Amino acid sequence: MLQPWLHDLVAALAPPVQLWCGPGGPVGSLTSAVPVPSASAQGAQGLWCGDVRVLCALVATVGGSAPTPVLAAPDGADGQLVVSVARGLGDDAPDPTVRLEQHRRVSPDGLVEDLVLVSSARTPVSTEVTVHLAADLVAMDVVKGGRSAPAVAPRQDDDGGVGWQRDGVSAQVVAPGAAVVVRGAVAELTWRVDLAPGQRWSASWRLDARDAGAVVAGAPRAGWADQLGVASGDQRLARWVARSLEDLEALRMRTTGGDAGPMGDDVFMAAGAPWYFTLFGRDSLWSARMLLPLGTDLAASTLRVLAARQGTEDDPATGEEPGKVLHELRRAASEAEQAGGTAFLPPVYYGTVDATSLWVCLLHDAWRWGLPAADVEPLLPHLEAALEWMATAAERGGGFLRYAGAGSGTGLANQGWKDSGDAVQWSDGRLAAGPIALCEVQGYAHEAAVGAAALLDAFGRAGGQRWRAWAAELAVRFRERFWVEGELGRHVAIALDASGAPVDSVTSNPGHLLGTGLLTPAESALVARRLVQPDLAEGRGLRTMSSLMAGYSPLSYHGGSVWTHDTAIAITGAARDGHAEAVAVLSAGLLDAAEAFGYRVPELHGGEARSGPGGVPAPVPYPASCRPQAWSAASAVAVLTALLGVRPDVPGGRLSVAPVPGAPFGALRACGLQVAGSPLRVAVEDGSVSVSGEGAEGLTVTA
């Protein structure tokens, strides 16, 4: 089965609801003027409520025929505008004189579509406008796996409405003024329209969606777009930040009542649309970490929501272990889905080797950015449990954090951020055998242990010296085992395989080691230089795998494509370690990609070069790439912060602002950054740095 492609679809988001339409505007297709209501017919297209697709077909006709689409475009993060022309109506002339506009707006409760039929014809127009709807109420796993599902027969109400219901999911349609007819699996909403010359007609219909089994819901907007103002000499940076903030607002979610846990409902960033519209450990943590310059509230709530579900026992079926942070939270599968084997993962799944360390890193960084002690202290027992999991995992892995993959045949074979089945390869293209110890995972663990030691000391808890020593020993082991000499020089292996041999391919993974403290200054400089070589850096961002490796393919998910967040993590670490060239080269690549994608940067894009053999004038979309994706959008803020060089230490009473020297983006100003809950303004122009705002008060500023 093939995963559906997304590159030409148009999305509208209002968690937990999302609408994906085809490039012409319809959802689904027409066969003899009847929508085709099968999952395989339109892939991801449809109206989704959480993990269930409510509508699989939404097709408008005028006079019994499909109008010709001329525009399907986003209208903000939560809207779509579809414009089509009815070529068989109106004047007998070359220019179209009758057009249909469909203004769609999703909300956490469903969808409203406003229909507008506009005539500029010289003669009256009499016709019918019909909206054809079909529902399959199918689980996301089914559609993502490329499988089909039968439509669910609609139920017509006595009051003229129509709806669908199954397994706790319901959808109800109200269409004032329409004649509602059910034909097999399709509900038809029809309005009779009579237009005098130059007139316009309008009507609307609404769908209300409910999922009694939902574990996540929408969260209030944070107002980030109004808070943060950016001006840049290279205007693309400001545009990327602005669009990203809009998309990030549309990815804010919270847990729901029964699943909220003892710490209550808390906000987090859903990983991305359409497939990952829920809580993820790794993705939500990285997104919150990148967004710390906007305030610590999101970090605090993300930490709490994951702490509430931290592992307490050993469960091989879900991957749960004491102290471990989860990978993914989903709606429980229905009995039919369980029986049919379409539920790929358990609803609460712990198959991740890095989320636990990243949780600790986020707590430490949020504390440095000014998270109040009252928010930190309740999380310290969870910190200690996470550290014990790290130590146990490393002892079990021969000194390194490893994962064994899906031993039971279900779950993820690779459990780092590169989680596809072929993500860990040798330079000759062979797949590495597990258990696998990824290089970046050791960096996260080192950074977590050092940060945790500082937290434990500051809050008068035991263990600080133990964890500093643990981190130091890990760094020594890493230095002995992960560095390799190859045809491309000395570099860090992507991983150790089951035998402990370093897997010698050149990849982006070592970029995540920058800024973690695991590397010596000389090693950090060597990693940074390797990242900006053309075989890794010429794909408008950082390629996941060098183009010189046997397994390289520019449209391989983790073997040559470019992931925005991966590049941004390397940029952030390079800035922290003082590698200006790497920051400038990789940032310039991301800005090129952002411009090409209209500043809604997707999950990943092709790693083709700009010029030379195989070069392309614009980045090639990865056809199954999610967008918006939280850590891709949050990368805009991370890159901005790295370029400005803002590094607060509120507990230590310090604020360092060290802009990247020579970055080719001109003057840069940001107002509305947040340090310790107060605004901060930073301006960089002609080599001078200005820092002002309440966020700097009471801190020793070094600029």
pLDDT at 543 over 50: yes
Per the CB < 8 A criterion, the answer to whether 576 and 583 are in contact is no
Q: Looking at residue 344, what is its pLDDT?
A: 65
CA terminus-to-terminus distance, the chain: 55
The dihedral region occupied by 242, where left means phi > 0, alpha psi between -120 and 50, and beta the remainder, is alpha
User: 574 with 515: CB under 8 angstroms?
Assistant: yes
- For residue 423, pLDDT over 60 is answered with yes
Question: What is residue 159's predicted lDDT score, i.e. its pLDDT?
Answer: 81
The reported pLDDT for the residue numbered 41 is: 53
Q: What is the pLDDT of residue 263?
A: 43
Q: Does domain 217-685 have CATH number 2.60.40.10?
A: no
pLDDT at 408 over 50: no
CA separation for the pair 696, 650 (Å, rounded): 10
Task: Report pLDDT for 388.
Answer: 98
Residue 483, CA distances (Å) to 306, 391, 490, 491 in order: 34, 23, 7, 6
Summarize pLDDT for 74-121 with one digit per residue, the tens.
Answer: 999 999 999 999 998 999 888 999 999 999 999 999 999 999 999 999
- The pLDDT confidence band at residue 328, using thresholds 50, 70 and 90, is very high
Name which of 84, 85, 8, 82 is nearest 44 in CA terms: 8
Using CA atoms, how far residue 401 sits from 348, 356, 433, 436, 655, in Å, is 22, 11, 15, 8, 33
Domain with CATH 1.50.10.10 in the chain: 217-685
Q: Are 537 and 585 in contact (CB under 8 A)?
A: yes
CA distance 60 to 130: 6
The answer, yes or no, to whether residue 343 has pLDDT greater than 90, is no
Indicate the pLDDT class of residue 211, thresholds 50, 70 and 90.
very high
Q: Which residues contact 591 (CB under 8 A, 6 or more apart)?
A: 234, 236, 237, 240, 665
Is the predicted pLDDT of residue 190 greater than 80, yes or no? yes
pLDDT computed for residue 223 by the predictor? 96
Contacts of 401-404 with CB under 8 Å at 24 or more apart are: 401/353, 401/354, 401/357, 401/437, 401/441, 401/442, 401/445, 402/353, 402/434, 402/435, 402/436, 402/437, 402/496, 403/351, 403/353, 403/434, 403/435, 403/436, 404/434, 404/435
The helix/strand/coil state of 570 is helix
The answer on pLDDT for 385 being more than 60 is: yes
Q: What pLDDT band is residue 257 in, cutting at 50, 70 and 90?
A: low
Give all strands (DSSP E) within 157-239, no chain letters. 162-166, 169-174, 179-183, 186-195, 200-211, 216-218, 229-232
Task: Give the CATH number of domain 10-212.
Answer: 2.70.98.40
Q: Name the band, by pLDDT with cuts 50, 70 and 90, for residue 31.
A: low
Which tokens hold the place of 33?
Answer: 């003027």
Q: What is the pLDDT of residue 30?
A: 57
Question: What is the distance between the alpha carbons of residues 651 and 155, in angstroms, rounded to a whole number?
Answer: 61
Q: What is the location of CATH 2.70.98.40 in the chain?
A: 10-212
pLDDT at residue 334 greater than cutoff 80? no
Of 37, 40, 41, 66, the closest CA to residue 54 belongs to: 37
Dihedral angle, C-alpha 543, 548, 552, 557, nearest 10 °: -10
Mean pLDDT of the chain: 93
Res. 309: pLDDT tops 90 = yes
What CA–CA distances, in Å, run from 423 to 10, 279, 420, 448, 495? 29, 23, 5, 24, 11
Whole-structure pTM value: 0.95
**501 pLDDT exceeds 90?**
yes
* pLDDT for residue 687: 83
Task: Reply yes or no on whether the pLDDT at 361 is more than 90.
Answer: yes
Residue 644 host element (H or E): helix 630-644
145 vs 303: CA distance, rounded Å: 31
Grade residue 406 by pLDDT with cuts at 50, 70 and 90.
Answer: low
Q: Is residue 2 over pLDDT 70? A: yes
Type of residue at 88: G
Q: Provide the edge-to-edge strand list for the sheet that holds 654-657.
A: 646-649, 654-657, 700-702
Residue 339's pLDDT is what?
A: 41
Q: In 3-state terms, what secondary structure has residue 289?
A: helix
| In the predicted structure, residue 342 carries a pLDDT above the cut 50 | no
656 membership: H or E segment, kind and range: strand 654-657
Query: For the chain, how big is the Rg over CA atoms in Å?
Result: 26
- pLDDT tens per residue across span 439-450: 999 999 999 999
Query: What is residue 390's predicted lDDT score, i.e. its pLDDT?
Result: 98
The DSSP string of 583-616 is HHHHHHHHHHHHHHTTT---SEE----SSSTT--
- Residues 462-486: pLDDT tens digits? 999 999 999 999 999 999 999 999 8
